[in-house]
Amino acid sequence: MSLKAKFTEHPASVGESYREHFVMASGFSLVMLKAAFCCGVHAILPFAFEKTGSDCITELYDRMVTNRNRVEAEKRAASESTAEAA
């Protein structure tokens, strides 16, 4: 596998360029860092950030499912247009 393929195979599998994937993954990382910080504080101060960790997980899940659905819809549309052209 070429070096370029190592950097582009996974992003392409989710319908993104390397740059788009970098931005999305970085955004996920920031939300996870926020969740980790808030959960750590919550461990010490149970009254603080009571729902922040679970809210972050819900946000990330929603973003992933929305992106996955978009990619699947684009693949279906491309395959349908290919079938129609044949």
Model confidence, pTM: 0.73
For the stretch 65-75, what's the b/e string if a residue is b when 16 or more beta carbons lie within 10 angstroms of its beta carbon? eeeeeeeeeee
Tell me what pLDDT residue 66 has: 84
Tell me what pLDDT residue 38 has: 97
Stretches where the chain sits below pLDDT 70 are 86
Tell me what pLDDT residue 86 has: 67
Tell me what pLDDT residue 84 has: 75
Chain centroid to CA 65: 8
d(CA 32, CA 40): 12
d(CA 18, CA 24): 10
Tell me what pLDDT residue 27 has: 94
